[in-house]
Chain A
Amino acid sequence: MTHIGAIMLEIIDLHVEAGGREILKGVSLKINEGETCVLFGPNGSGKSTLLAAIMGYRHCKVTSGKIMFKGQDITEMGVDERARLGIGMMMQRPPNVSGVKLGDLVKATAKGDASVLDKAESFKMDNFLGRDVNVGFSGGEIKRSELLQLTAQKPDFVLLDEPESGVDLESIDLIGRKVHDLLYTKDGNKACDGSRCARHVSALVITHTGQILDYIGADKAYILQNGVIRCSGRPTDLLKDIRERGYKECISCRMVNIEE
């Protein structure tokens, strides 16, 4: 067991190709245990590719650089091994899996523990357990399904790709609270009282609107542009800058490094 404050994830000069094009052109970042980092950046800057490369999806080919997780080099590791090491991902557009029932997948994710299915109700997904995974799900239903699966998976580090996108305002509250529970209580069962619970789960979160930051505290933010990290800083500061001046202005400013 790693102690609080140890390095959870370290990415060193990562270059990644997808669809025959270099998308990430030397990305380095570090996330400590219990830390939540936010990734900003315009569309097409490579944010989703970075998350997919950390998860180990084969369409993202690492051409150079390294991904270290809990002190291990996982650059060449399979998706399932990474998942079993403690990485989980909430995909923005997960594939439809016809014929596979959501309940069966959630149960398999919990390694056969059927009691996790009882939690479906609190995700408003109890009526979806008998349905094919993602088939005909709305935007909000996909998010809630992903979060239910992650709750069954209990990762130590989660990759959240735009958790609030395509979700109506009413659903955002439920999703925000569930993301909060996922990060702040390891069993996802009892809610955190807010002040004293230990922060165990680390996260890297992509957000455009910053709405999810109303539910989780973020320690650090990066701006990714054209496959490189252009800027890092306090999440609220960066979000304010982006809102006021857009990415162009932000990117032209000098890079500020707050890494100690």
Chain B
Amino acid sequence: MQNGEHRGVKEALDRAGAYGPDVDLSQFNVGESDLEQIEDLQKVDADTKDLMVNVGVVSDENGRDGSIVFINNSMSHCSNKTEDGVELLSTRDAVAKYDWLKDYFWKAVDPEKDKFTAKTYIEESDGYFIRVKKGYHAKNPVQTCMLIKNKNTMQNLHNIIIIEEGASLEIITGCTTDRHANNALHIGVSEIYVKEGGSLAFSMIHNWGEDTTVRPRTGCILEKDAKYVNNYVILNPVGTLQSNPVTYLNGEGASCTYNTICLAPKGSNIDSGGVVFLNAPNTNAEIMSRSITNGGNMIARGKLSGNAEKVKAHLECRSIVLEDGGLTLAIPELESTVADVEMTHEAAVGKIDQDQIEYLMSRGLTEDEAVSMIVRGFLVGGIKGLPPHLMKEIDEAVEKANLGN
């Protein structure tokens, strides 16, 4: 199905991404796709288990309706407790099984966008396929884990998520690298479709290596009254991460929210954005970004494009800079092609208010404790619907970071 359609894809292999430092793909080996299956997540080796737990994977799978684990390019584990409502497959199996999948294949992401999408297209990369059947409401989240196990390895995945009419699902994803996996590259192409009245909450926590290159490419298409919430959390230094998911609100009344929470200590290079096209009347979007930089580089992008009447959207990039050095850059953009839209943005970069720190210290908290408490509040305050495990991860990371100096 991939032949013939995208003639320019070979040329696209040389096309650098629109943002972020260019990456020489030839220095990476494509990850193996035939690794051994893991039947029981509790029986993996201790190192792997730690890695998974650190990005929120529940290894006994309690409270999870299903689990998918990718190690390098192998779908190493796939379990499903709710087969009547949720379908979990590898993308390759899904393509073989469903002829109709061609209508969703490379329809939300253009393979010719840049070298990362082109590579994934040409490799016919595997990935995960998640489908929630019409009207089904999954009680518990499905968890997925993307793990890079070896050095100089390229993990390139092509994921497809389809939430059918009136259905709902929460997905929790953890992305991580083994500590020996130096100089790895993660490319994740994700195509997400939320059909009429459907709803998807997608939370991602990243824990990459200090020299990992990360280039997700996500496209999301929402039909009438569909809802999409995207929580994106990066708490550890990452070599270079550039992500700018695009959501198309194509059906009337659709809405989406992006929440991005980043800590950027020295050694972090994060370029994290979000784009929402409000293409139908009465659609709503909110892009919220909160970051703390202490020596790292943090670019927060956001773009709202209003192309139908009565759309309402807000974009907020706020950053606290704890020390000199590094770079903090907020780039909010608003564009409109029709008159009757209401779009706002707010960007703020600065230090923590000294009065707040002293106020908490006057209650006996140390400066470290006071700063941590304020930073945590800054990161999660005003952001609705963060799952408890993400709150826990954020608390632990803030505590570990010793931000008070």
A residues with a Cβ closer than 8 A to B are 55-58, 78-80, 82-84, 88-89, 91, 94-101, 104-105, 108-109, 111, 132, 149, 152-153
A99 and B376: CB pair below 8 A? yes
Complex CA gap A55/B362 in Å reads 7
Cα distance A57–B360 in the bound complex, in angstroms: 11
**In the complex, A95→B356 CA distance in Å?**
6
- Asked if B400 is at the interface (CB within 8 A of a chain A CB), the reply is no
Report Cα–Cα, A84/B360, bound state, in Å: 12
B364 near A97 with CB under 8 A, answer no
**B343-386 at interface with A (beta carbon < 8 Å):** 353-356, 358-367, 369-370, 373-374, 376-382
What 4 new A-B contacts, CB under 8 Å, besides A95-B355, A105-B360, A132-B377?
A: A91-B359, A95-B356, A105-B363, A149-B363
Interface of A is mostly: mixed
Residue of A with least CB distance to B367: A80
With A99-B378, A99-B380, A132-B381 given, is the CB distance from A109 to B353 under 8 Å? Answer: no
Asked whether A98 lies within 8 Å of B377 as measured between CB atoms, the reply is yes
In the assembled complex, which residues on chain A have CB atoms less than 8 Å from the CB atom of B382? 98-99
Contact between chains at A108 and B377 (CB < 8 Å) = no
Given contacts A99-B380, A100-B381, contact A83 B361 (CB under 8 A): yes
CB<8 Å pairs between A and B, sample of 5: A55-B362, A97-B359, A98-B381, A99-B378, A100-B381
Closest Cβ of chain A to B198, distance in Å, is 31
* Residues of B within 8 A of A (CB-CB), count: 25
Given the known interface contacts A95-B356, A97-B356, A132-B377, the answer about A78 and B367 at a Cβ–Cβ threshold of 8 Å is yes
A179 to B238, CA, bound (A): 51
Which B-chain residue is minimally distant from A106 (CB atoms)? B363
Given contacts A109-B363, A149-B363, is CB(A98)–CB(B373) below 8 Å? no
- Contact assessment for A97 and B360 in the assembled complex, using a CB-CB cutoff below 8 Å: yes
| Distance of A96 Cα from B365 Cα, bound (Å) | 17
Q: Taking the nearest CB of chain B, how far is it from the CB of A161, in angstroms?
A: 12
Q: Would you give the shortest CB distance from B355 to chain A, in whole angstroms?
A: 4
- In the assembled complex, the Cα of A150 lies from the Cα of B333 at a distance in Å of 45
Closest Cβ neighbor of A57 among chain B residues: B358
Residues in A neighbouring B373, C-beta threshold 8 A: 100, 104-105, 108
- Of A89, A100, A132, the residue contacting B362 (CB under 8 A) is A89
Q: What's the Cα separation between A122 and B355 when bound, in Å?
A: 28
In the bound complex, residues from chain A placing their C-beta under 8 Å from that of B365 are 80, 108-109
**With A and B bound together, what is the CA distance between A109 and B373 in angstroms?**
12
State the CA gap A180–B370 with chains docked (Å).
29
A80 close to B374 (CB less than 8 A): no
Contact flag A108-B369 (CB < 8 Å), given A83-B362, A97-B356: yes
Give the docked Cα–Cα distance between A240 and B327 (Å): 61
Chain B 145-182, CB-CB to A under 8 Å as 1, else 0, gives: 00000000000000000000000000000000000000
In the bound complex, what is the Cα–Cα distance between A96 and B356 (angstroms)?
A: 7
